[in-house]
Amino acid sequence: MHKSSPDFNLSVRQVFKWTVCVLLLPLFVHAADYVTVNQAGYLPDHPKQAFVTSAADSFHLIDQSSSQIVHRGALTQRTALDPATGMNVWEADFSAWGVPGTYVVSVPGIGKSHAFAISNAAFTSLAKASLKAFYYQRCGMDLSPLHAGIYTHPKCHMQDGTLHSATGESGTVKSAGGWHDAGDYGKYVVNAGVTVGTLLLACELFPERFAADNLRIKESGNGIPDLLDEVQYELRWLLTMQKADGSVYHKLTRENFAPFIMPQKDTEKRYLMPVSSTATADFAAMMAQAGRLYRTASAAFADSCLAAAEKAWTWLEANPTIVPAGGFKNPTGVATGEYGDGNDRDERLWAAAELWRTTSDSKYETYYLANYQSQNLFQSEMSWGNVAPLAHLAYLFSPQGTGDTAAKQNLHAKLQQFAANMLTQADGSGFRVLLKPGEYNWGSNSRPLNRAILLILAARRGGSAQFESAALDQLHYVMGRNGLNFCFVTGTNAFSMKNPHHRPSAADGIKDPVPGMLSGGPNQYLQDDLMKRTFTASTPPALCFLDHVDSYASNEIAINWNAPLVFVAGYFAADTTATGVEKKEAVPETFGLRQNYPNPFNASTTIPFSLDQPGRIKLEFFNIHGELIDSRELGVRAAGEHGYTWQPNLPSSIYYCRLSVENQTALYSDIKKMVLVR
């Protein structure tokens, strides 16, 4: 998210590399008619659609291995003049076909889509690559061929860092390590906040989905999830940014951006910039999270993180208004990323929520409850400048039996309303993306992915099954099912981003960029010179994108954009239920929905379940698209074994049953797949 120096030199291979969209004429709406798909693929039992940008009657699904048509269908018009692209969009729905394989969608008179897989492992490589991208961003260590492959380079920036004169201090602080923030080599505490917060949230809420220890990073195989290992590398650097009084330096950068050179060749002096309350509060929240999540792996490290968090909070208490006044601004002569924010109340709220979760100290909960209703009650998604949603999620997903019941009910209702609003917004988009004109800003691709996280969590807490389907649509968008027919993630296929604004990828002499990185995406505000020369205010917002190293406003990468990609891709990569219908809370050991019998069934089937305590029972039945097709309120049932006989008047297909149990302390659910054969 940082403008580069205008006087860098580019290699021959970097010049004149443009997107396949050929958006060189500012008034040209789109380059051609095409069939867009998620180029990674689709899960067998999830909804599957392609979009077509010109009128036609029908489509064919073709198995690449045999060249045979395996499915036919009619196209339906989705939108006329999609507001973000100006395109007329038709939909090809092949959800009924779930046989694993490699396919293309062919539309007579239009053409064929890129090839894609239908597989339960469709997103496995993406999930691994998006997390491994953080390893490639490591600062201060050798990236060895064993772990980095061809993207190896020696350790860098080992002299970090010198105290800038604006701090009022002199000397140096040993502050090597951490992640390079984006396409530049700076390290920024505020942007680390939402990044670390998102990654640790994924691991805390879905530990089984982020448990992999085989990513081929230096720490792989140590028995600790690689996600936690990778985040710990950043946390250890963050600890060096805290002063003795508890405050935290805002960032560590040069005074100006480095030219396009490899990191080990960037030897200019790098400075710790003045402290800020936004950085300090973000730091407190991250360290409080770490105090919980690393306790099993390393109690000593968890203790050090928690102590640092409480020390930061003490400083925040002593400095109750924003520091510096008006928010952080770059000192005179400094032109690197500012991450300026004139409001630190959301950061303080997040710190309080995480510290309460970790310590159970009532003073932190008191602060949260006194302030939470004025801080973005799920009115928008999280971002580096607005971490209030992370505060609310920390409180809402606190263990059962803790927290204020009324506050949790309020948060739950607001999250469900946000998710419902997102469904309405998706319905108005030709490509089902949660972006509308005005929202295609710098880093726009991160917005639908962060919204997808909230949709997933709303579904987990008993919301509509369509919430998860809408969340998956956002992954489809960044992976190629969009108005550009372009995959925004490096290294995923032949039609993905090739020329990111990313210094190592431009300077390493390797044809392909570092893999697994998410492009910032379309930027209707045209905030770099190349975009201004290429587009005008008349260019549809979703088409304002260039796959060119000079387009830092549309094609840079950043750690805070990759974090929600890790969350969403990892969530669906490990999806074993293969549906948009999910459990609402962790299921207690003595609660259970048993497999129906018989299964497959013809006219009727019995659904057994057990309860560890009395509760109000609800059974919901969903089709393969995640749409609710039947519901049964069974009233309050006593603890023990129970059953319900279902006699649907439905066609042969796969269906899902969700059992929800509400009692005095919590809401639980579980889900099973059933097969009806007529």
Catalytic residues: 184, 501, 547, 556
Q: Residue 292: is it exposed, middle or buried by C-beta count within 10 angstroms (0-12/13-18/19+)?
A: middle
For 551, the token pair is 């387009």
In degrees rounded to 5, what are phi and psi of residue 79?
Answer: -145, 150
| Alpha-carbon distances, residue 375 vs 343, 381, 454, 537 (angstroms) | 11, 12, 16, 33
Residue 635 exposed, middle or buried by CB count within 10 Å (0-12, 13-18, 19+): exposed
Q: d(Cα 90, Cα 42) in Å, to the nearest integer? A: 19
CA distance 560 to 195: 5
ω into 154 cis (within 30 of 0) = no
Tokens representing residue 596 in the block: 């129906």
How many helices and strands (H and E) does the chain possess?
16, 21
Cβ-in-10-Å burial (0-12, 13-18, 19+) of 677 comes to: exposed
What single DSSP character describes residue 496? B
Residue 619 CB-half CA count within 13 A = 21
Closest CA to 254 of 273, 236, 237: 273
Distance from chain centroid for Cα 249: 27
Cα–Cα dist 129/577, whole Å: 23
Yes or no: say if 243 and 279 are a contact pair by the CB < 8 Å rule: no
Cis preceding linkage at 598, omega within 30: yes
In contact, 308 and 324? CB cutoff 8 Å? no
Task: Identify the H or E element spanning 605.
Answer: strand 605-611
Give the number of other CB atoms < 10 A from CB of residue 121. Answer: 13
What's the CA gap between 52 and 73, in Å, rounded? Answer: 13
Distances 89 to 50, 54, 93, 539, 577 between C-alpha atoms, Å: 10, 7, 13, 18, 31
**Within 13 Å of residue 677, how many CA atoms lie on the same side as its CB?**
5
Pinpoint the alpha helices (H) of 88-169.
124-136, 145-148
Pick from 251, 2, 255, 179: nearest CA to 566: 179
Yes or no: say if 230 and 134 are a contact pair by the CB < 8 Å rule: yes
